[in-house]
């Protein structure tokens, strides 16, 4: 008999396949026999070198397939691999007569426990440490790597959770879908699944743990369901795949309200995918990717080329470029980034551009203003990330004026693009009136806005019930931004993950957003959804949601 386990749908796709469990921790031997300390030291050095090569290769693959943001996780792995304290502790263990394998296990044990006891992003670091430890143990014990890139076609992968190095290996032509016990919509695994178009359900809980290898299951990424032993009709429906209808034209609601549906991009592959999926334009170009995976910052000309090329991919659309947004969870190894106890509340986004990265910021502004004068430059919009004060915006716009004066004086062709502010902090929500008089648009970054409004890390599954953009507090913040923006003739878009959640589309239309920007794969569904929605009905739903008190009230309204 068929049974269904419910989790969070990560990709709006379904497929059927055969279960294969991935349990990397359990398949590794505890230790090996110890050789002499010299031999064990040499084994450790060799293992580190192999691990470094593997991590670098996975970093590159993730960067190409998913994006620089996600690939950045591997920088943390490289740092742990070269951590002097961990290295010293392994060597001490070896000197005490342990095999390198046992010494590695011992050396990682304390740091893992310490990170586990912390909150938020720090707790996630425990996963990264485990990932590095397991990699070293696997190499040292000569254990076979479970090759996730070579799974038999039609595999449905089940796992407790999938780390960045696991997801980097998945081959969408072989993996029909995956489901994880843990994880939320913004987990690495979910974002990767959307980028690659793999049907996926995350956070399915203990209900999937007793599904046996070889069982046939359907992954329904739309409903967030894992259907075990599906009946013939469900099976056939999922297996038939989806004929995705691509809408290349702009869409409007049934009562004639236009909504721009744009893509979030970081890599050239994502720009291509945005065009293929019928994006009206780019709503978030994450420029960090231009800065990563290299030893020094890109030149003004390199940045100019990348932006001008993106503009030509959307000759009739808008391309919203975000200025450099590093810090927090987005490190750039060659820039000076002092370790911080609270990186998400520290030197990130515009704060760095106005301070330690002021020169980089000006170079980027020069490239942007030159690109605004290029062939399709009239479609360029530029926004600043993580603005929390009006003063920061004024200083950023002063830098724009100064760069414009320099370009003029040097007789370089330039134009002024439209400028906007990302709304990601509660202070920006409260200061929206003053911000709106200074810019042309707002783009709401709900990933960060939710984490700051709810005081909840976007990385910690244990409190993911709070990192929920449907919370009335977040909805009221969005409502305020749309109202204030429109009163001041600013268009208002959204580029956080919330914008691409089809189950929230009607609510977002009702809240009055002018633009929604998301992973390319969700664009066809969202465009179809907009075309089937009445703005008037949606506004009633939004007004009921704004009067609600709890997330369960909102869920009820959405299910009605
Ligand atoms: C956001 O915070 O919602 C956003 C789009 O920015 P990022 O996810 O890159 O921080
Ligand atoms: Mg953000």
Report the CATH number at residue 85.
1.10.274.10
Q: What is the mean pLDDT of residues 438-460?
A: 91
Last residue of a domain, one of 141, 158, 192: 141
Q: Which atom of ligand 1 sits closest to the CA of residue 451?
A: 2
Judged by average pLDDT, the poorest of 64-78, 204-218, 297-311, 535-549 is 64-78
> Are 134 and 161 within one domain?
no
Q: Supply the pLDDT for residue 556.
A: 94
Whether the Cβ atoms of residue 91 and residue 299 lie closer than 8 Å to each other: no
Q: Cβ < 6 Å from ligand 1: which residues?
A: 284, 286, 325, 424, 445-448, 495-496
- Regarding whether 365 and 349 lie in a shared domain, the answer is yes
Q: What pLDDT shows up at residue 117? A: 72
**Which residue has its alpha carbon closest to ligand 1 atom 10?**
448
- In a domain, residue 47? The reply is yes
Instruction: With respect to residue 215, please indicate whether it lies within any of the assigned structural domains.
Output: yes
CA–CA distances in Å: residue 438 to residues 362, 379, 391, 513: 20, 20, 11, 20
CA angle 471, 473, 478 (to 5 degrees): 95
Q: How far does the centroid of ligand 2 lie from the alpha carbon of residue 432, in Å?
A: 17
278: how many CB neighbours lie within 10 A of its CB?
20
Task: Please give the helix or strand (H or E) that residue 518 lies within, else none.
Answer: strand 515-518
The ligand whose atoms approach the alpha carbon of 448 most closely is: 1
Task: Answer whether residue 232 is part of any domain.
Answer: yes
**pLDDT higher than threshold 80 for residue 474:** yes
Nearest CA to ligand 1 atom 9: 286
Q: How far is the centre of ligand 2, averaged over its atoms, from the C-alpha of 322 (Å)? A: 10
250 found inside a domain: no
The pLDDT value recorded for residue 242 is 57
What average pLDDT does this structure show over 218-237? 90
More confident site: 151 or 67:
151
Tell me if 381 sits within 8 A of 319, measured CB to CB: yes
Q: How far is the CA of 441 from the centre of ligand 1 (A)?
A: 16
Residue 439, φ and ψ in degrees, nearest 5: -130, 175
- Confidence class for position 469, pLDDT limits 50, 70, 90: very high
422, 443, 458, 493, best to mutate for ligand 1 pocket (most atoms within 8 Å of CB): 422
Structure tokens at 316: 């009739």
Query: Among positive and negative, which fits the CA dihedral 445, 485, 315, 385?
Result: negative
Alpha carbon nearest to ligand 1 atom 8, residue? 447
Helical residues (DSSP H) of 464-560, grouped into ranges: 472-487, 505-511, 523-531, 535-546, 551-559
Whether residue 523 lies inside any domain: the answer is yes
Structure pTM?
0.70
328, 388 contact by CB (below 8 A)? no
* Domain membership flag for residue 253: no
Ligand 2 centroid to 428 CA: how many Å?
13
496 alpha carbon, closest ligand: 1
Is residue 248 one of the residues assigned to a domain?
A: no
Share of the chain above pLDDT 90, in %: 62
CATH number at residue 492: 3.20.20.60
**Shared-domain flag, residues 98 and 208:** no
Residue 247 domain-assigned?
Answer: no
> Which alpha helices (H) appear in 314-425, and where do they start and end?
350-353, 358-371, 390-409
d(CA 437, CA 432): 9
Report how far residue 105's alpha carbon sits from residue 121's, in angstroms, rounded to the nearest whole number. Answer: 23
Q: Which residue in 383, 379, 366, 363 sits closest to 428, CA to CA?
A: 383
Same domain as 405, residue 282: yes
DSSP 500: G
What is the tens place of the pLDDT at every residue in 476-516? 999 999 999 999 999 999 999 899 988 899 999 999 999 99
Which residues neighbour ligand 2 (ion) by CB within 5 Å?
A: 445, 448
User: Catalytic positions, please?
Assistant: 188, 495
Instruction: Indicate the average pLDDT of the chain.
Output: 90
**What residues make up the domain containing 379?**
258-559
Last residue of a domain, one of 112, 141, 170: 141
Domain count, the chain: 3
User: Residue 440 half-sphere exposure, CB side, CA atoms within 13 Å?
Assistant: 10
Domain boundary residue, one of 242, 276, 297 = 242
The pLDDT of 301-310, averaged and rounded, is 96
- For residues 216 and 122, state if they share a domain: no
Q: Are residues 373 and 455 both part of a single domain? A: yes
């Amino acid at each position: 008999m068929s049974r269904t386990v419910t989790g969070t749908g990560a990709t709006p796709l379904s497929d059927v396949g055969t279960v294969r469990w991935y349990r990397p921790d359990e398949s590794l031997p505890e230790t090996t026999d110890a050789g002499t300390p010299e031999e064990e030291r040499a084994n450790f050095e060799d293992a580190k070198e192999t691990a470094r090569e593997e991590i670098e290769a996975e970093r590159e693959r993730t960067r190409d397939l998913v994006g620089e943001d996600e690939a950045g996780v591997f920088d943390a792995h490289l740092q742990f691999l070269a951590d002097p304290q961990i290295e010293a502790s392994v060597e001490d263990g070896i000197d005490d007569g342990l095999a390198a394998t046992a010494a590695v296990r011992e050396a990682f044990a304390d740091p893992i426990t310490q990170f586990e006891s912390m909150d938020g992003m720090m707790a996630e670091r425990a996963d990264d440490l485990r990932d590095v430890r397991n990699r070293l143990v696997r190499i040292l014990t000569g254990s076979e790597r479970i090759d996730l890139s070579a799974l038999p076609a039609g595999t449905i992968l089940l796992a407790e959770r999938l780390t960045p190095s696991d997801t980097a290996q998945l081959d969408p032509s072989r993996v029909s879908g995956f489901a994880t016990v843990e994880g939320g919509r913004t987990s690495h695994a979910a974002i990767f699944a959307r980028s690659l178009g793999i049907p996926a359900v995350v956070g399915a809980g203990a209900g999937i743990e007793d599904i046996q290898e070889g069982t046939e299951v359907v992954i329904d990424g739309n409903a967030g369901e894992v259907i075990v032993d599906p009946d013939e009709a469900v099976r056939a429906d999922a297996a038939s795949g989806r004929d995705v209808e691509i809408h290349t034209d702009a869409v409007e609601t049934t009562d004639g309200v236009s909504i721009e549906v744009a893509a979030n991009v970081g890599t050239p592959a994502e720009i291509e995918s945005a065009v293929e999926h019928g994006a009206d334009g780019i709503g978030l170009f994450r420029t960090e990717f231009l800065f990563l995976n290299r030893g020094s910052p890109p030149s003004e000309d390199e940045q100019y080329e990348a932006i001008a090329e993106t503009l030509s991919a959307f000759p009739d659309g808008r391309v919203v470029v975000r200025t450099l947004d590093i810090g927090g969870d987005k490190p750039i190894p060659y820039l000076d980034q002092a370790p911080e106890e609270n990186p998400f509340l520290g030197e990130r986004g515009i704060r760095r551009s106005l301070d330690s990265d002021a020169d980089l910021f000006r170079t980027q502004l020069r490239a942007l203003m030159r690109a605004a004068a290029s062939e399709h430059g009239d479609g360029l919009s530029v926004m600043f990330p993580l603005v929390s004060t009006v003063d920061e915006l004024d200083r950023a716009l002063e830098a724009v004026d100064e760069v414009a004066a320099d370009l003029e004086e040097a007789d370089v062709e330039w134009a002024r693009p439209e400028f906007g502010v990302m709304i990601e902090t509660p202070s920006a929500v409260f200061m929206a009136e003053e911000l709106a008089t200074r810019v042309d648009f707002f783009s709401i970054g709900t990933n960060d806005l939710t984490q700051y409004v709810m005081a909840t890390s976007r990385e910690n599954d244990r409190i993911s019930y709070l990192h929920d953009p449907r919370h009335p507090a977040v909805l009221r913040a969005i409502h305020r931004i749309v109202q204030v923006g429109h009163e001041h003739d600013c268009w208002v878009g959204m580029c956080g993950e919330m914008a691409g959640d089809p189950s929230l589309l009607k609510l977002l239309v009702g809240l009055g957003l002018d633009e929604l920007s998301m992973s390319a794969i969700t664009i066809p569904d969202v465009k179809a959804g907009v075309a089937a929605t009445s703005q008037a009905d949606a506004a009633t739903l939004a007004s009921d949601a704004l009067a609600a008190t709890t997330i369960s009230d909102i869920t009820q309204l959405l299910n009605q």
